[in-house]
């Protein structure tokens, strides 16, 4: 009798723990992946920036530059039926160079104007940027963290080449989630037109990022909640957190990659960039910026950033 009683108690405890695990998994899915407002990031110390950085991001000259440009709006239906929006700005003088830019988590296409102004005015490039699925004017009720988006970017690339010709040279440049997006894209079969990738503050995989943040933000272990969250994500968004791996993709990459990291980045730890760099199959370079937090290197060390990017692009593209 005692044995049966303990068995029932054990089954009851396991059932309660399973229910808690499932509830927690849906909570974290809704918190981080479901489309919508993300108040949980407000007041996050890892995302605090200097007053100078905040001023540049919120009211820098690049914002006025973006507002003054006449972007062509492009629409595309993804392979899974989402309507996506992209924005193309032709260079002032005819150019066969196009930089394709990918924005960060909760951002939108025009946030990449911070970098677009440099490419447009200093390098004379055409620029293209898109609202990732689940962001801006693009469709989608979930955030892909770069994984489904990589296929969207392959389609955008194909469309650019179709419209502007086989001689078009394409650069991919992303920040944070956008950096992971372009790295994930780099692991796909791409046309030879894609010449180089610039990844600023990327993460190794969505699973690694969530595991790190669950511990840092919520003081929770990744197991068993994160595997269950991954299963929920697979059911609701069509991808698992482990398969969404920039690390696996760069192990297949054939395109030169420049990694950029801020050594003071505690939101996406700088060691993730180092791991990516050390495991990249193609030619790779690393640039580090002291005292730069997440996504800050361009603002903290703009001259160094531009010098490094210029040297990298001069090496891998034709002027």
190: in domain: yes
Among the listed ranges 12-16, 50-54, 271-275, which one has the minimum average pLDDT value? 12-16
40: in domain: no
Neighbouring CB atoms inside 10 A of 311's CB total: 13
* pLDDT tens, residue by residue, 87-119: 999 999 999 999 999 999 999 999 999 999 999
Q: How many domains does the chain divide into? A: 1
pLDDT above 70: percentage of residues in the chain: 94
216: in domain: no
56: in domain: yes
* pLDDT tens, residue by residue, 268-288: 999 999 999 999 999 999 999
* Dist. CA 96–CA 92, nearest whole Å: 12
260: in domain: yes
Q: What is the value of pTM for the model shown?
A: 0.94
Domain with residue 149: its CATH number is 3.40.50.1820
Find out whether the peptide bond into 224 is cis, omega within 30 degrees of 0. yes
Residue 170's SS3 state is strand
pLDDT of residue 159: 98
14: in domain: no
Tokens coding 97: 């160079």
Mean pLDDT within 236-253:
97
Strand-pairing partners, residue 198, are: 173, 258
* pLDDT tens, residue by residue, 231-240: 999 999 999 9
Which residues constitute the domain of residue 281? Answer: 49-205+244-316
64: in domain: yes
232: in domain: no
Q: How confident is the model at residue 21 (pLDDT cuts 50, 70, 90)?
A: confident
3-state secondary structure 56-118: HHHHCHHHHHHHHCCCEEEEEECCCCCEEEEEEECCCCCCCEEEEEECCCCCCHHHHHHHHHH
């Amino acid at each position: 009798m005692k044995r049966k009683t303990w068995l029932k108690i054990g089954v009851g405890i396991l059932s309660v723990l399973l229910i808690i695990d499932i509830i927690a998994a849906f909570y974290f899915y809704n918190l981080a992946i479901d489309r919508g407002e993300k108040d949980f990031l407000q007041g996050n110390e890892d995302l605090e920036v200097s007053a100078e950085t905040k001023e540049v991001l919120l009211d820098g000259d690049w914002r006025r530059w973006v507002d003054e440009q006449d972007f062509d709006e492009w629409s595309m239906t993804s392979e899974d039926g989402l309507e996506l929006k992209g924005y193309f700005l032709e260079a002032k003088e005819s150019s066969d160079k196009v930089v394709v830019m990918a924005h960060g988590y909760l951002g939108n296409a025009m946030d990449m104007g911070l970098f677009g102004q440099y490419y447009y005015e200093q390098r004379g490039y055409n620029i293209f940027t898109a609202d990732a699925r689940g962001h801006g004017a693009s469709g989608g009720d979930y955030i892909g963290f770069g994984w489904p988006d990589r296929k969207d970017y392959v389609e955008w690339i194909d469309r650019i080449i179709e419209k502007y010709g086989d001689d078009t040279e394409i650069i991919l440049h992303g920040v944070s989630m956008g950096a992971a997006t372009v790295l994930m894209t780099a692991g796909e079969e791409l046309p030879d037109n894609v010449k180089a990738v610039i990844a600023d503050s990327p993460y190794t995989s969505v699973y690694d990022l969530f595991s790190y943040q669950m511990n840092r933000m919520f003081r929770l272990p990744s197991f068993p909640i994160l595997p269950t969250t991954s299963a929920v994500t697979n059911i609701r968004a069509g991808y698992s957190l482990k398969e969404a791996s920039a690390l696996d993709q760069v192990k297949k990459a054939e395109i030169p990659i420049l990694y950029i990291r801020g050594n003071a980045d505690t939101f996406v730890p700088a060691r993730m960039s180092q791991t990516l760099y050390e495991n990249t199959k193609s030619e790779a370079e690393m640039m580090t910026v002291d005292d730069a937090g997440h996504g800050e290197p361009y603002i903290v060390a703009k001259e160094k950033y531009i010098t490094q990017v210029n040297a990298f692009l001069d090496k891998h593209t034709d002027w």
